[in-house]
Structure 1
């Protein structure tokens, strides 16, 4: 939400209206589609990732009729799941929401998985779709093809209403600007998330009445919530008295503010941090107060736990806090209300912005600070041991086929200070060495596969000079519609690095069977049903079809040089690159 630019675009809007009203034909009056595009730009939307259909003529006409600098830039995306994931990835590295637009109910159906992912990760995406014309004749935009009968639904919004913060169908042309502002404001207000607007052709093609041809009133995004001082006082008392306090977190804010406050709290008060089921890394990998990504042992020892904006801090069926352990949840939605079943213990739930809440907690704890030197040394020692074990495990995996641990180590060594990796059943975070937050993005807990590669493309669009890596399993790569994704990379000149982890199997499914039935018939069978991806296609040829630089790597010792060659192509030629790696099947990852 860029207020200054918004005021500037108000003037542009008024100028456009004045020019159109000076003409005598209705064709030159502002349409609902033009109102919508102007409103989106006024509210900070710079891109519309779109997969067009027969409902798009008024949108396409509006793009051409209006100046490029007053409307979002249209980006052609040849598959809908990629369009939502690109907006998702763009937000993760910028903190700025973007929009997608798809074709009526069939396009929306393809994009639903991406909307579910965005909802799970609180990503503000403005999802737009056409809607079959309502009228059969007599109005501009009425039905003209047979599919406009077959594609009508009683309630198209129901496809996404359960996972969006807001859903509405545009009814009049003058609502375009208002709906753009309303949708974007709600998406960006905490807890953030996707919103949806359905767009019938009639209001898009109809003209805005002269009496309504003015920009909608600005709607500011809600200010961040500050925590209840009394709740903070109680939490500070608990943590200060604790013998073994613990911070659990699993995502940083895009601007890194929450991570900075967590880091400060950990350093100042010698409180260990663990990131179970991380989706956006928070801590520097080698920080002495960081105990990694396995919550089991730290949780078992803790007597006070503060869970910072974490939907799934542990798995109740596997491990949970001790009976006497106090648990504090802090976040913009500490109850995670959109989750029907969520039974994690909470002795104190504090509503507040994570950065502001942790900062307030540190301020309240300073007068209570006690000698924590012994605890600091103990945690730092455990942190060093974790790093040593990880290094040893990584090196042991330099084989043919290589392990995911060795692959993750090599990838980490190849990344510079600004590089980001989008991992979808790909990297092993414990093997990575990153120096700050928002360098490792894992697929959301919703589990909608096909997210990693297009999300990396969205991040690359936001910063063409940053090394953006998609590290995905072979099954996840198939789900990403790779032909579409590599075409997007070439068309937009996005030099993303794609790494396909080829183990020839749905290993997550296989592991689940092994863990559920360790002595079962499926484990003992020569060939487990429904998990094989053999015979594997030549994944490098898929990328090569869009002129990507490609290599296949089988032995771990060859990976560092292959990464160096691929990144050199990216840097020098500004061209996408793809490595297919032969990876060992593992019971752990």
Structure 2
């Protein structure tokens, strides 16, 4: 529904900085994650001058990548975009990796940065320190132009709220993603004339795209006539509506679902139509494949469908325009919100093939058998990894059994999804395919901030833990009373790099070497001492049999003492993950 323009809503800002902060709050932003610099005086003064109900709550974040990841994690569990403010070009440079991750995952984050003063004298905010010369750039926004949906530099103080409102609306419009505003000190400090007309028009996000009925009818005909239809998906919406609708469609019509390279889990692990996370077997048998809002549905060199297979792509940006090279087969492409497309497709399938149809029943039985076999096999494989060092599958199984109904896990080269029993959608968030490491730990902090009573877990590799700026993250956890559980999957090396080399040169010199070049993290630091410096509960687990009890102790500390807990786990090196 369209909103009427807002005439002088609430307090009228005195200057550009107040206009920015009031605009953020009026755009639905609850938190401003900030890493301050010498360009921040007008923002800090405005934070102190305005009432706490009029502005986002400021959160001091001692590293920029942590701030962006916290906003990312907050969105994943709430569906609400938050704001991050960093210091001129150097702070923006530190935040770029987080923005790359947000862009890859279509996560809306409103990123603001200062800009070194433009003028040398004569105006409020003109330069007064040497670094304000050294931090000047010809085009500061060039660092993030390719990865943001919108970027602009504020010129006048009265632009503060309209620019913020536009940026927020674009960030939340499909396909969603990060936006950026550059804020020089001069317009932030300049006064707005009291007599100025401060009407700010409503600026809601655009409505989500709806599917073309004829295209849906074609897709339904293909799926209804298929012997082995298959749906591939990688992420759920933040409210879990897609998962609910998808499960209903698939169980009625006997269509199996695989989540290859999952980012935000969609299906419950025990759903009879859920076939797991490996596309190889289901893809080999499929004759019609529906790719649902998935940027990387399969690896062309490994899983490419045969020439007789029909492939349908559906999503808000079904061709993923931001990817320069993406050559997947596409016989039908439908631009649509994923949930809206599934609702429409379900209705069309009911007409083309009622749930009572014998074909649907045969497909339900076949998919259910595959699903049950997968779960039984995965659990057996995980149990066999209870050793010293333990397998990542055993670690994932133990973690899964320790989680309650509402717990969420942020994984970064950590958990093995197939070994877990996920009770519904959005229980597991994996690092985006952009691969900017150091994401999961601060993203978990953002999720914990959004819901302080929920158990939030970050399960990460030892290399990822180093990338996360753990000193900053543990300080944030203690300062904000965010008692997350951190599990460090410690195998002493960059295993993703090692696997990549072995796959490329299986009989090469590097694969035969006792220590592969550029992969070892030995001698390893004592990660637990890093966490203990911020008064975290810490424990080292060497044998798999001790993990269930260690998890129980850590979760008890979180629940009763409201204190962060960190487990350092000795994990076996794996060639598969």
Which TM-score bucket, shorter chain as reference? Answer: over 0.9
Query: What is the CA distance between 1:2 and its match in structure 2?
Result: 12
Partner of 2:574: 586
- In 1: Cα distance, 2:515 partner to 2:462 partner: 19
The reply on whether 1:325 has 2:309 as its aligned counterpart is yes
Counterparts of 1:6-21 in structure 2, within 5 Å, are 11-13=9-11, 16=12
User: 1:476 aligned to 441, 457, 464, which one?
Assistant: 464
Query: What is the CA distance between 1:3 and its match in structure 2?
Result: 7.3
Partner of 1:233: 217
User: 1:546 aligned to 517, 534, 547, which one?
Assistant: 534
User: 2:348 aligned to 315, 339, 364, which one?
Assistant: 364
Partner of 1:264: 248
Query: What is the CA distance between 1:374 and its match in structure 2?
Result: 1.7
The reply on whether 1:163 has 2:161 as its aligned counterpart is no
Stretches of structure 1 that go unaligned for 5 or more consecutive residues are 18-29
The reply on whether 1:442 has 2:403 as its aligned counterpart is no
- In 2: Cα distance, 1:525 partner to 1:419 partner: 42
- In 2: Cα distance, 1:211 partner to 1:148 partner: 33
- In 2: Cα distance, 1:188 partner to 1:390 partner: 38
Query: What is the CA distance between 1:211 and its match in structure 2?
Result: 4.4
The reply on whether 1:74 has 2:58 as its aligned counterpart is yes
- In 2: Cα distance, 1:234 partner to 1:188 partner: 30
Partner of 1:570: 558
- In 2: Cα distance, 1:213 partner to 1:38 partner: 16
Contact 1:174 1:213 in 2 (8 A): no
The reply on whether 1:556 has 2:544 as its aligned counterpart is yes
1:149-178 per-residue CA deviation (whole Å, 9 max, x = no partner) reads 110110000100000000000000000000
Contact 1:2 1:43 in 2 (8 A): no
Partner of 2:406: 418
Q: What is the DSSP-based 3-state SS (H/G/I as helix, E as strand, rest coil) of the residue aligned with 1:323? A: coil
1:123-145 per-residue CA deviation (whole Å, 9 max, x = no partner) reads 00000000000000000000000
Partner of 1:22: none
- In 2: Cα distance, 1:199 partner to 1:461 partner: 27
Partner of 1:511: 499
1:396-451 per-residue CA deviation (whole Å, 9 max, x = no partner) reads 00001100000000000000000000000000000010111000000000000000
1:569 to 1:10, Cα distance in 2 relative to 1, 3 A: farther
Q: What is the DSSP-based 3-state SS (H/G/I as helix, E as strand, rest coil) of the residue aligned with 2:206? A: coil
Partner of 1:291: 275
Partner of 1:24: none
Partner of 1:37: 21
- In 1: Cα distance, 2:543 partner to 2:27 partner: 50
Q: What is the DSSP-based 3-state SS (H/G/I as helix, E as strand, rest coil) of the residue aligned with 1:238? A: helix
The reply on whether 1:192 has 2:192 as its aligned counterpart is no
Contact 2:253 2:361 in 1 (8 A): no
Query: What is the CA distance between 1:213 and its match in structure 2?
Result: 4.8
1:283 to 1:2, Cα distance in 2 relative to 1, 3 A: farther
- In 2: Cα distance, 1:241 partner to 1:434 partner: 32
- In 1: Cα distance, 2:491 partner to 2:199 partner: 55
Partner of 1:397: 385
User: 2:231 aligned to 236, 247, 255, which one?
Assistant: 247
1:321-375 per-residue CA deviation (whole Å, 9 max, x = no partner) reads 1100000001100010011111111101000110000100010110121322222
Query: What is the CA distance between 1:212 and its match in structure 2?
Result: 3.2
Query: What is the CA distance between 1:264 and its match in structure 2?
Result: 1.1
1:6-34 per-residue CA deviation (whole Å, 9 max, x = no partner) reads 96x95422xx46xxxxxxxxxxxx01000
- In 1: Cα distance, 2:145 partner to 2:223 partner: 40
Contact 1:249 1:273 in 2 (8 A): yes
1:115 to 1:504, Cα distance in 2 relative to 1, 3 A: same
Q: What is the DSSP-based 3-state SS (H/G/I as helix, E as strand, rest coil) of the residue aligned with 2:138? A: coil
Give the TM-score normalised by structure 2: 0.98
Counterparts of 1:75-90 in structure 2, within 5 Å, are 75-90=59-74
The reply on whether 1:223 has 2:207 as its aligned counterpart is yes
Partner of 1:21: none
The reply on whether 1:314 has 2:298 as its aligned counterpart is yes
Query: What is the CA distance between 1:220 and its match in structure 2?
Result: 1.4
Stretches of structure 2 that go unaligned for 5 or more consecutive residues are none
